[in-house]
Amino acid sequence: MIYLGRNHDPQNNRELIERITGVNKRKFKGVLEQTDRLFMKYSRNYLWPSAFSIKSVLTGIKKIGVFLFVKNASGYPARMGATSVNQEGTVYPEWKSLLDQESGHLLNKISREVSITDFGAVGDGVTDDTDAFKKAIAKGRVKVIIPEGIFVIKGLKLPSFTLLAGAGKGKTILKLHDAAPKGEWIITNANHVKGNRNIRVEGMSLDWNVERLGNEEYTSRGNNRSSCLTLANVTFGWVKDVEAINPGLHCFDVSSTLYTYLGDGTRSRGGSKYIWLDNLNGHGFGDDGITTHHSDNILITNSHMCDPSGRAHKKGFSNSNGIEVDDGSRNVWLVGNSTTRCFGGVEIKAHHNASAASNVQIIGHLSVNDNRSYNFRHIGHHKLNDPESKTAFNIKATNIVSIAPVFTDLYVNSTPRGMVVSAYKNVAVNDFTLIGDPEYDYKGEPVIAIQYRARNVVFNNIKISGFKNAGAYIKIFGGRQRADYVALQNVEADDAAKPIEIGAGIDNASVQHIYTDDKNNILV
């Protein structure tokens, strides 16, 4: 079995995924086009919520300070954005050209290039260098060069048009001061309410210094604080070649001014837009490695998240995911990333009292020993007496891999799964390879679960092997909160006793071309 450590180079993900799936750069464009065709064929249009609910307004009036940061989710186009592939097989969203243009705008706006050492920074791992950074950054329009060393700080707030450039991961280290409060970030933007623009951070490690908290049970203060790097209400941002170490909450958070929870159909004001995270590493996170909230047009590429502490949650109930596309996020591309030993490898979701993430594309992902490699859900909108989700729509996943999902102490009662689809409508999964550990006890549980009101779901070109002690390889759950309108086609399984199981009461499920090792059709 493959092992990915904390220092895994995520630039190698593409080659690793190609070796497992056989989808190389020459085939990639065709596979993505096939995913698009499947999505168009099997999905349908749904109306977005058009107004606040009475309940959300009344709740907001009681918390008027929070209500001011909330807006309606209506008026947003349901269309999934287009994806392009160049001759080298590099994948990017249609709006990346605008981000590239703004990168040039950032460089043109910079009027000073300085070294942090010119302002008295020592970088010896002991001296407090916060004042040196404040003087160097000043009001922005600056590129600050940070050489090798360990620079102890009490948190940095970056104004618009600021570029921080280190010497590389593990070489330039920004470390939170022992006296920094629990809610502090290592780096964030200067104005979460009015917003900032054109901020770039590259080439460094960020050590949240969790050791300063001693034996405190919980490592985060709440809302969007306590992370290594947070962009809140930022338009045009780049974070490249950065490592995050042991944050109380998240390694990297693309966020709104505040997280708000005033109901499905609402979004927080002050979301970030046009953000690119690339070649990031993170471990030891209290909640999630990379996460997004109430933000639009986000590209996350060639990154690796692993080994969460889970200490932002009660022990044994840590929903700590490698990459989590959370409440109200829209138009998010995940390309060429990897996760390992997390609760969820990739989780696309929302809390019960927030709008679901939507319009999300996963293109090439490697999940190793995550409890649930891919988990799509809108919490609190699954069961018979729950309200149906208004916003859980539109996911495409192409050329993805799940290797040996396992039980985890992070969430003690959670059974391993290669993928779970709950409550979401319009889901297309194409070219999915799942490899289990034949010696592992999967306790008769399914490998892929399609359940809890999921609708308009298609799986194509699925290869499953090695789950010797699992139940059905793919199970469509029936009952009164059943999944429906599900298509399974071109599934290759090894000698599983029951490759497909369809539950009671499902009226609209199609199954085509299901093969076992001997390539004989399995009739379901």
pLDDT of residue 49: 60
pTM (two decimals):
0.95
* pLDDT-based confidence at residue 25 (cuts at 50, 70, 90): confident
Matching residue, tokens 């490759």:
499
In a domain, 395, yes or no: yes
Q: What is the pLDDT of residue 523?
A: 41
Number of structural domains in the chain: 1
Q: Which residues contact 35 (CB under 8 A, 6 or more apart)?
A: 396, 397, 398, 428, 430, 431
pLDDT-derived band at 68, boundaries 50, 70, 90: low
Q: Is residue 502 part of a domain?
A: no
Query: Which residues, listed in sequence order, are joined to residue 275 by a DSSP beta bridge?
Result: 237, 298
Look at the chain and count its residues.
Answer: 524
Strand partners, 163: 143, 200
Alpha carbon distance 111, 139 (integer Å):
11
Amino acid residing at 365: H
The pair of structure tokens assigned to 322 is 């490698």
Rounded CA gap, 299 and 296, in Å?
A: 10
Q: Give the β-pairing of 393-403 and 330-340.
A: unpaired
The average pLDDT across 344-370 equals 97
> Could you tell me which of 362, 403, 338, 364 has the C-alpha nearest to residue 10?
338
Contacts of 138 (CB under 8 A, 6+ apart): none
Report how far residue 449's alpha carbon sits from residue 473's, in angstroms, rounded to the nearest whole number. Answer: 9
- Phi then psi dihedrals of residue 498, to 5 deg: -140, 90
pLDDT tens-digit profile of 294-323? 999 999 999 999 999 999 999 999 999 999
Which residues form the domain of 173? Answer: 10-41+77-435
pLDDT at position 218 = 96
What is the rounded average pLDDT of the residues 7-17? 97
Residues 6+ apart with CB under 8 A from 346: 321, 322, 323, 324, 325, 334, 337, 339, 362, 365, 367, 373, 374, 375
Between CA 218 and CA 239 the distance in angstroms is: 27
Closest to 250 in 3D by CA, of 206, 197, 316: 206
> How far is it, in rounded angstroms, from Cα 163 to Cα 156?
12
DSSP 330-343: EEEEEEEEEEESSS
Cα separation, 293 vs 163, in Å, equals 23
pLDDT of residue 73: 66
Whether 458 is in a domain gets the answer no
Residue 495 is assigned to a structural domain of this protein: no
Average pLDDT over residues 81-87: 90
- Does any domain span residue 489? no
Work out the mean pLDDT of the chain and round it to a whole number: 93
- What DSSP string describes 267-298? EESS--EEEEEEEEEEES-SS-SEEE-S-EEE
Query: Which segments of 423-454 are extended strands (E)?
Result: 425-435, 448-451
482 is a domain residue: no
CA distances, 405 to each of 106, 258, 342, 450, 466 (Å): 42, 33, 10, 17, 11
Is the pLDDT score of 52 beyond 80? no
User: What is the tens place of the pLDDT at every residue in 456-472?
Assistant: 999 999 999 999 999 99
CA angle (471 as vertex; 469, 340 as ends), nearest 5: 70
Q: Is residue 500 part of a domain?
A: no
pLDDT digits (tens, 9 = 90+) for 96-134: 999 999 999 999 999 999 999 999 999 999 999 999 999
Cα torsion 182, 353, 377, 278: sign: negative
The predicted pLDDT at position 433 comes to: 98
Residue spans of alpha helices (H) in 388-491: none
pLDDT digits (tens, 9 = 90+) for 362-373: 999 999 999 999
Residues 273-285, mean pLDDT to the nearest whole number: 98
Q: Residue 64 pLDDT > 50, yes or no? A: no
Query: 53-62, 153-162, 397-406, 427-436: which has the minimum mean pLDDT?
Result: 53-62
Nearest 5°: the CA angle 91, 96, 99 is 145
**What would the mean pLDDT of 274-288 be, rounded to a whole number?**
98
Amino acid 517: pLDDT: 75
Query: At 261, which CATH number?
Result: 2.160.20.10
pLDDT at residue 80, as a whole number: 83
pLDDT > 80? residue 407: yes
Number of other CB atoms surrounding residue 11 within 10 Å? 15
Burial class of residue 406, CB neighbours in 10 A (0-12, 13-18, 19+): middle
- Distance in angstroms (rounded) separating the CA atoms of residues 210 and 176: 9
Residue in the block written with tokens 């464009």:
29
Report the pLDDT value the prediction gives residue 77, as an integer from 0 to 100: 46
Q: pLDDT at position 294, please?
A: 97
Distances (CA, A) of 106 to 101, 103, 135, 161: 9, 5, 20, 6
Higher-scoring residue by pLDDT: 241, 57: 241
Share of the chain above pLDDT 90, in %: 87
CB contact set of 409 (below 8 Å; sequence gap of 6+): 316
Is the residue at 442 inside a domain? no
Joined together, the tokens standing for residue 63 give 């918390």
d(CA 415, CA 16): 26
Instruction: Please tell me the predicted confidence (pLDDT) of residue 9.
Output: 98
Residue 58's φ and ψ, nearest 5 degrees, are -65, -40
Question: How big, in percent rounded to 5, are the helix, strand and coil portions of the chain?
Answer: 15, 40, 45
